[in-house]
Every structure is written in C-alpha cells, then in structure tokens.
Amino acid sequence: MTRQTSPIYLDHNAGAPLRASVREAMIEVLGDAGNASSVHAHGRKARGRIEQAREQVARLCGARNRAVTFVSGGTEANMMALTQSWRDQGTPVYLDKLFRSAVEHSSVVTGGRFPVSDQVVLPVDSNGVVLLDALDEMLSGKEPSLVSVMAANNETGVVQPLAKIGAVVREHGHFLHVDAVQAAGRLPIDLEEWQADAITLSAHKFGGAQGIGAVVVRSTGRVPAPLMIGGGQENWQRGGTENVAAITGFGVAAEAALEEASDLGHLNMLKSRLESGLRAVCPATVIFGEETQRLANTSCFAVPGIAAETALIAFDLENVSVSSGSACSSGKVAVSHVLTAMGIDETLARCTLRISMGWNTGEEDVDRFLEIWPRIVDRLNPEARTRAA
C-alpha cells in the first residue's frame, strides 16, 4: 500500500496549526526583554503589545478592550468563569447553582468551582440542542444562578440558539456563561445578542499558540471572582507575569479569525463536498446533528460496523489526522457523553469519527480523505459499501 507522504491535518477542533503570521509575531517578541509591569522602555513595549492584542481579541468578540482577561487557555478560562462568587457593580453576588448543558466540554462538565451538589444538567434533543422549554421550567423561581451553554459543540459542531437561551436566562434573572472556544473564527460572536455575561476563548483553536486563552465579559462591572490571585496583572483579575509572546500571537490570530468568520463559504463548500462523498462511499453513513445548524468546519459521522479506533489507526498509517467522537481516559476508550446525551446508541457511538477543518484546509485535503476512505472501508467492513441508509 502506498502511503501519502505529505500529512493531511483534519483535526482543527482539537487544535489548529499555528499561522505563519502568528509565528513571526511571536518570534519577534521572544527576541525582546521586558516585563509588562515594568515602567522602563522595555516594559512599556511589552505592555503595548499586550494592549494591542487585547484590542484585537475584543474586536473579535465585539467587546470593550478592558473586558478581556488573558489566561492560560480555555480550561482555565472556564474554571475562572464557573464560580459562585461574582461582583456586580462592585457588590458581591453569590450564585446558587450551576445549570450546564449535557453536551458541554469536559472542562465545564467538571463544574469549575461549583460543588457537585450545586450542579444541574440541562437536557438536549436528539441533535444536541438545549431544550428551551426545559430550560425555562428549570430556571423559573430559582435563586440567581449561573447557566453555562457552549456556543458550538466540539464533537458535533452543533450550534446552540444562544440568543433564545440568553433571553430565557435574562428573563429569570440569572447569569450566562458561553464557552465560545469552538465558535471563534467560525461564527460571529456577539455578547449583546447572546446576552452573555462572560464568554471564554482559546487561541490555539483558530491558529494561535497553545497555552493562551481569555475570559471576555459583557460588562466590566459584572465579573467573576479571580481564580489566580497575586499581583495586579490583568486589572487584578488574573495574577502572574503575562506571556507576552503568546498574547501577541493571540491578537494576530484573532484578527485573522474575525476576517474568516465574515465569509464561511469556503468551509461550507468543503463540508458539503465531504459529506456528499461520505454518503457516496457508504449510503448508511450517519451524520450527527445534520438536522440543525452546525459549524461550517465540522462533520461528525459514523458508519455502522466500522469501529472508530480501527479507522483512526488506518488513517494515521495514511498520514491523515482525524479524531473520534469518543474520549480517551486512562488508556480506555469511553463512549462520548455528548452522543449519549443525544440518545445515540452505544454501538453506533463507538463508530464515530470527526473531521474538523480550518484556515489551511483545501479541496485537495478533502479529496485525499475521500480517496483513502473507500479503501479503509473495504478492509474493515466491505458490506458497508452496499448497506442502505
């Protein structure tokens, strides 16, 4: 078997390749000395870079510059936002419960700083969309609480109706957190339309560096209690010397992502091409979430009888990187909690693969995938080629 020598990367939802413009900006910063908290020229230069990046990230979110707090990544950002202790116009506020959807990222599933006893799971429909009637009923008459719903799912790409969710949350007097990690660069982000009190971002999902993220609030008067205290960095919201190089790269990536989010035609075309090809190879292909809005870059699918683990190994041997809808824990593959919440049968869930594209994905990558896929199917389960949908 002839293997493709040049690698194909179709796992942007796990982490996008670093953009060349980001790399160049970061290398330039790494050549300079200076702590952004210092008052001398070197320190002021570092501070200027951070504030420029803060403006760029704020623009990506339609937020004010001072609304952006830089942290170490999406997980820390979620941990910071998911707290019972907030301040609203200078007054301490204690939030009673955490209501989070059944399909959240694992960093939200853990509940952040909320004890397990104060966490409530919101149900979803068969596409993984939060049930608005259930949300309305569960929030009615409750003490002020925090609701956490992701903008778009990392496994299926399903987009939540955030404007409607935000309206329900606001009507009942609660706070809203949106994990927008997968949305940045793939959807317009609008805190006002969503009525979100805080959103969280991670730079490496759209071509920035790993290890840098942000919490962005709608109002600088309503903020979560700091997770990491120390010095006065980040307006006293996150202690510790800033990672100037990564923050600078974050800003550059945010500018590129904002431009890409304004025209998703290329990614939509690639996804349509991919999914038409999948069904041409195997008519029985199941595409999760296809009955609702999904990200332009994500396709989560399964072919009954073809185990995801085996298919992933076969693709890796062909130098193609894709991922599974399953999560690995301690070397053991478990069925995705997202698919379980959607009511997907466990046997089918274990066959799930995810293709996620991004800024450097081209038609040739999709075509190469569709060239390899029939050969893998023929080796693993040739009957799947003729099985009806």
Q: What is the pLDDT of residues 117-140, one digit of tens each?
A: 999 999 999 999 999 999 999 999
Across 304-334, b (16+ Cβ under 10 Å) vs e yields bbbbbeebbebbeebebebbbbbeeeeeeee
Of the listed ranges 15-19, 52-56, 268-272, 383-387, the least confidently predicted one is 383-387
Spatial separation of the C-alpha atoms in residues 38 and 45, rounded to whole Å = 10
Q: How confident is the model at residue 4 (pLDDT cuts 50, 70, 90)?
A: very low
Q: What is the pLDDT of residue 280?
A: 96
Q: What is the pLDDT of residue 265?
A: 93
Q: What is the mean pLDDT of residues 42-63?
A: 97
Which residues are part of the catalytic machinery? 328
Phi, psi for residue 184 in degrees, rounded to 5: -60, 125
Q: Token digits for 327?
A: 């999560």
Does position 188 have pLDDT exceeding 50, yes or no?
Answer: yes
Question: Over pLDDT 90: what percentage of the chain?
Answer: 92
Spatial separation of the C-alpha atoms in residues 323 and 338, rounded to whole Å = 15
pLDDT in tens, 216-249: 999 999 999 999 998 899 999 999 999 999 999 9
Spatial separation of the C-alpha atoms in residues 365 and 201, rounded to whole Å = 27
Q: Is the dihedral of CA 225, 230, 233, 235 positive or negative?
A: positive
Q: How confident is the model at residue 333 (pLDDT cuts 50, 70, 90)?
A: low
Does position 326 have pLDDT exceeding 70, yes or no?
Answer: no
| 3 state SS of 226 | coil
Of the listed ranges 46-50, 65-69, 241-245, 260-264, the least confidently predicted one is 260-264
Does position 327 have pLDDT exceeding 80, yes or no?
Answer: no
Element (DSSP H or E) covering residue 101: strand 98-101
Does position 5 have pLDDT exceeding 70, yes or no?
Answer: no
Element (DSSP H or E) covering residue 132: helix 132-139
Q: How confident is the model at residue 332 (pLDDT cuts 50, 70, 90)?
A: low
Q: How confident is the model at residue 325 (pLDDT cuts 50, 70, 90)?
A: low
| Terminal-residue alpha carbon distance, the chain | 30
In sequence order, what are the residues at sequence separation of 6 or more whose Cβ sits closer than 8 angstroms to the Cβ of residue 13? 154, 155, 157, 182, 205, 297, 298, 323, 354, 356
For the chain, the C-alpha Rg in angstroms (whole number) is 22
Does position 389 have pLDDT exceeding 50, yes or no?
Answer: yes
Element (DSSP H or E) covering residue 88: strand 85-88
Spatial separation of the C-alpha atoms in residues 75 and 83, rounded to whole Å = 13
Q: What is the pLDDT of residue 384?
A: 81
Does position 328 have pLDDT exceeding 90, yes or no?
Answer: no
Q: What integer best gives the mean pLDDT of the chain? A: 94
